Amino acid sequence: MADIDFSLLDVPRSAPIDDPDAYLRAAIAWHFGAETGSAFWLRAAKTLDFNPLTDIRTFTDLRLFPNLLSELRNVPVEDLIPRGYGSPPPVPQVFESGGTTGAPKRTAQLPDWVAQVIQWQTEDFAAGGFVAGQGFLCLMPSGPHGVGFFSRLVSERLGAAFHAVDIDPRWVKKIAARNAAAEVAAYVDHVLEQAVHVLHTQNVANLHATPPLLEAIARDDHLVDLVNEKIRYLLLSGAHVDADTLDLLRDIFPKTTITMAFGSTMILSQAVTRVADDETFVFDPRTPYVVFWVIDPDTGEQVPYGQLGQLVMNHISKGMFLPNNLERDMAIRMPGPRAQLSDSVSAVRPVTTFEGEAVIEGVY
């Protein structure tokens, strides 16, 4: 272990990691070291048929790990915090997944990682066209979900008053599952009624919404006029939107810069968004902290570039280690900024069933 530099794991940082393999070695030594690892991974290591400390040398080797993320539904968050943070450990921010395919999974995000994500998202918002100093209307989940938490802090960084309208994606998925279309529509109306009041009374130029909510706005002439009058930056995230719908939305809101974000509770962050030559959005994971693979679900092999496959996500940081997670999303594989290390993705969409359950997006 003498050649392991744990300082490579320190965040927040602005400069990129020059040697991703050295970073990976440090992360594996940290998470599986008796003095530094979490109770969760030290316990899991005893069940593996390989030794992470000697057998994980490259990012490709992460495929040796079984997907243990279902255990995040029940494991105490204290067991997720690496011992190397000291005693008492930092208090984590606990965020949960949407619970699309059963009980939600929990992550424990420590203060150093939270600071890193805030830094990244502030940069992303500014680069995407966020109007600094003007109000920010956020129609996104809060509560157990990270998106509302981070949006509020990023808004503060950018000097924008934050106006939140909460949504409960779990409830919407429940009523959608029983085909209660009228109830779903009533819930959407309830959310938009609150948004209209903010738009009428407050100085807002920035909007964060889900594609289903923006599509509902687009069907209401009064709301379209309000958005066109006030909003100049519009961020979409949380649900799938196809290219044709996106083109239509751009026509309906011609004065507004529309961009997209792609993230996941299980990568504890979001990817970098860029626009390809054909105007489609491409999402680049922030390597070496997050690595994507797009695979054929039947063979487990990466599909060719430009082809559709199922998304595998890996999160590797000082605070958490979540390898080889087969996600509920399909995506087109794209060359990444570091092609040998990670894929990038575009045209992300949910699978129809996952872990034996129907996948329902609802409004998020």
Q: Which pLDDT belongs to residue 339? A: 73
Q: Where are the alpha helices (DSSP H) in the chain?
A: 20-32, 39-45, 52-55, 111-128, 146-157, 169-177, 181-201, 211-218, 221-230, 243-252
Instruction: Parse the chain into domains and list their residue ranges.
Output: 7-112+268-358, 129-261
Quick one: pLDDT at residue 344? 97
Of 9-13, 144-148, 303-307, 360-364, which range is least confident?
360-364
pLDDT for 243 equals 86
The mean pLDDT value for 311-340 works out to 93
In three-state secondary structure terms, 38 is coil
Which whole number is the average pLDDT over 302-329? 96
Higher pLDDT among residues 276 and 293, named by residue: 293
pLDDT in tens, 130-181: 999 999 999 999 989 999 999 999 999 999 999 999 999 889 888 988 889 9
pTM: 0.94
pLDDT of amino acid 199: 97
211-247: pLDDT as tens digits: 999 999 999 999 999 999 999 999 999 878 888 899 9
What is the CATH class of 129-261?
alpha beta
The DSSP 8-state label assigned to residue 321 in this structure reads: E
pLDDT band at 357, cuts 50/70/90?
Answer: low
Residue 77 near residue 92 (C-beta atoms within 8 A): yes
Choose between 238 and 65: higher pLDDT. Answer: 65
CA distances (Å), origin 198, targets 184, 189, 231: 22, 14, 12
| Stretch (H or E) spanning 47 | none
User: Beta 263-264 vs 269-270: how paired, if at all?
Assistant: antiparallel
Both tokens assigned to 82: 């690496």
The predicted pLDDT at position 212 comes to 92
Judged by average pLDDT, the poorest of 54-63, 93-102, 223-232 is: 93-102
pLDDT in tens, 174-213: 898 888 999 999 999 999 999 999 999 999 999 999 999 9
Residue 328: per-residue pLDDT: 87
Average pLDDT over residues 16-36: 96
Decide if pLDDT at 356 tops 60: no
Phi/psi at 111 (nearest 5 deg)?
-55, -35
β 135-138/162-164 pair status: parallel
Report, as an integer, the average pLDDT of 273-291.
93
Phi and psi, residue 241, nearest 5°: -140, 130
Which pLDDT value is given to residue 358?
60
How much is the pLDDT for 353?
63
Going by C-beta distance under 8 Å and a sequence separation of 6 or more, which residues neighbour residue 174? none
Mean pLDDT, the chain, as a whole number?
A: 93
Note the pLDDT of residue 209: 96
Q: Is the pLDDT of residue 280 over 60?
A: yes
The pLDDT of residue 361 is: 60
The span from the CA of 32 to the CA of 40, in Å, is: 10
For residue 95, how many C-alpha atoms fall within 13 Å in the half-sphere facing its CB? 21
